A and B are shown apart, each in its own frame.
Chain A
Amino acid sequence: MTQVTERATRLRSQAVAGLSGFARTWLVFIGAVVVWEVATRLAESVFFPPPTEIVSTALQLWFSGPASQLFLSDVVFDHILPSLGRCLAGWAIAVILGVGLGTALGRSRTGMDYVGPLFAFFRAIPPPTLVPVFMVLFGLGPGMQVATIIFGAIWPVLLNTVDGVRAVDSVKVDTARSFRTPTPYWIGMVVLPAALPKIFAGLRLSLSISLILMVVSELIGSLNGIGHELISAQRAFEFPLMWTWIVLLGILGFGLNSLLLAAERRVLRWQPNRNNDG
């Protein structure tokens, strides 16, 4: 009897805690949407449609497909998925190149002395300005976009990896040497794990850069994709449509970042202070 009531109170307190956590996370967000709704309805500007209108446009735009496509419309397959694909492909290639090169350079004694200035120079170039260059090289299309994303997203990963692999604790270096650890195990079980916290910081930064460059490259030169649709909507004065694409970009950025954070939490759960730094 008491056990049952105890469990009930525990469940209730859990539910309350969950609700208050949810409220803390979303209260300001929901408040902002409500204010936006009211403000736009009062202003009645064609440039600023109310959120409800944006949402209904979005639902119509994305979920009006046949059941065989899980109700997803052609727009999803023609524009959203290709955009996402290019973004993730560019990011993945940047990550592989960045971690690989960064590990090699960071563990070599003089590597960074040679290429450091070159990197500093390349990193200083704002990647969108290279879109015209890549357009000449690859023409309009995915090649140019992926190249732009790689060029912009590689630096945080590369430089953080260099930093991380350099900072392997000297006693751990000696320990690995004293066991005559073969290079693959040395890199895979000592150097990379030691550098992972730094690498993840780079991954997060480069993921948001990837998303930005995906849109920018599509705004400038593309035949499809989210950026292309966004600029077309704007040119056709279809402002609710334009806003749906902007909202979608927000959702994508939020979603991708959440996924990466979840992956980071899993991979780095060995860190002593993981659980109490939110």
Chain B
Amino acid sequence: MPTMLEVTGLNHRYGSGDGAHVAVKDLSFSVDAGQLACIVGPSGCGKSTLLRCIAGLIPPTDGSVSLHGDAVNGVPDDLAVVFQDYSRSLFPWLTVARNVEFPLRWRKLGKQERAERAQEALDAVGLSGVGRKFPWQLSGGMQQRVSIARALASKPALLIMDEPFASVDAQTRFELEDLLRRVQREQRTTILLVTHDIDESVYLGDRVLVLSKSPATIVADLPVDLPADRDQIATRESAKFVALRGEVARLLQTVPAKQAAPEQQADEDVATADAAEWTATEEAATENAGSAKETSH
């Protein structure tokens, strides 16, 4: 598999001098073409910052990003981003259909073809009938699906998603997760998806990158060797899934002990709370994160 995305020694620092905040620290990884890589990390650790650097929206303080082997400076072609703040990402003056058509506007497509592609994308996310409504007439979860449809309609080579399913109900979330895996295999899209949900990262990913607390560094890069065809119930019950989930959880939980993390982040820290919950259910008392595989059964 050729490499789609290559991140080397990435650093990002907000501000300078005393008020400087290092959000991303010395981060390196690469993603192969056609892979779905999940990044899981605690809240506020710098996940959105990392994605913004990769998308070329902000220049990194140090290090480099390359896509198809070309260095990224400025937003590259062939990339789409689903933003965390979906309601601000949609254009309220355009109807849902026109929002989805937006990235196709300046492509050499007939009006008819454009409308069809937008409709296809809306169908795919289960929003067939709402094309003529305005985004603010939809619920939060529906708005998020519109922004996913918009990204899909542009058929990018690399799709970057920032906590795309954070605000949808469990049922819809399952459907969207399956949809994403299906679309990814049909369109051979490479996807980099950020989440703070441990289960989701394992279920969705071909691979899970675990980030530390702020500043974000990679603490583990786990291949997910589950079968490519996944099922929301069977897969989640499988021993492999449970083992992986436990491993990710333990990695997330052991991170704060190693680093002096700022205190104000502790209470809003969803991922580590999740982690505590999962590891509490397991008996393994090993401190060593790397031995997770042996301890679970």
Interface of A toward B, CB cutoff 8 Å = 169, 171-172, 174-175, 177-182, 185, 189-190, 193-194, 196, 270-272
Once the chains are docked, how many angstroms separate the CA of A270 from the CA of B92?
7
Query: CB distance B134 to A270 under 8 Å?
Result: yes
Question: Whole-angstrom distance from the CB of B80 to the nearest CB of chain A?
Answer: 7
Task: Give residues in B with beta carbon < 8 Å to A.
Answer: 52, 55, 57, 75, 77, 79-81, 83, 85, 88-89, 91-94, 102-103, 105-106, 134, 136, 154
Q: Is the CB of A172 within 8 A of B102?
A: no
Binding site secondary structure of chain A: helix
Q: With A174-B83, A179-B80, A179-B102 as given contacts, are A193 and B93 in contact (CB-CB < 8 Å)?
A: yes
Residues B89 and A171 in contact, CB atoms below 8 Å apart: yes
Known A189-B105, A272-B92, A272-B136; contact A178-B81, beta-carbon cutoff 8 A = yes
A172 pairs with B154, CB closer than 8 A: no
B107 to chain A, nearest CB (A): 11
* Known A174-B83, A185-B105, A270-B134; contact A180-B92, beta-carbon cutoff 8 A: no
Q: Is the CB of A178 within 8 A of B80?
A: yes
Q: Name the B residues within 8 Å of A196 (CB-CB).
A: 93
Assess whether A177 is in contact with B106, with CB atoms less than 8 Å apart: no
| A178–B158 alpha-carbon span in the complex (Å) | 12
Please state if A175 and B81 are interface contacts (CB–CB under 8 Å): yes
Task: Contact check, A178 vs B55: say whether CB atoms are below 8 A apart.
Answer: yes
A172 to B136, CA, bound (A): 15
Q: Say whether B91 contacts A172, CB under 8 Å.
A: yes
Q: Which residue of B lies closest to A192 (CB)?
A: B93
Among the listed A178, A181, A193, which residue makes an inter-chain contact with B57, where contact means beta carbons less than 8 Å apart?
A178
Chain B nearest CB from A105 CB (Å) reads 22
- Could you show 24 A-B contacts with beta carbons less than 8 Å apart? A171-B83, A172-B88, A172-B89, A174-B57, A175-B83, A175-B89, A177-B57, A178-B57, A178-B75, A178-B80, A178-B83, A179-B102, A179-B103, A179-B154, A185-B106, A189-B102, A190-B91, A193-B94, A196-B93, A270-B92, A270-B93, A270-B134, A272-B92, A272-B136
What is the CA–CA distance of A174 and B147 in the complex, to the nearest angstrom? Answer: 13
Are B94 and A169 in touch, CB under 8 angstroms? no
Tell me, rounded to whole Å, the shortest Cβ–Cβ distance linking B81 to chain A. 4
A270 to B133, CA, bound (A): 10
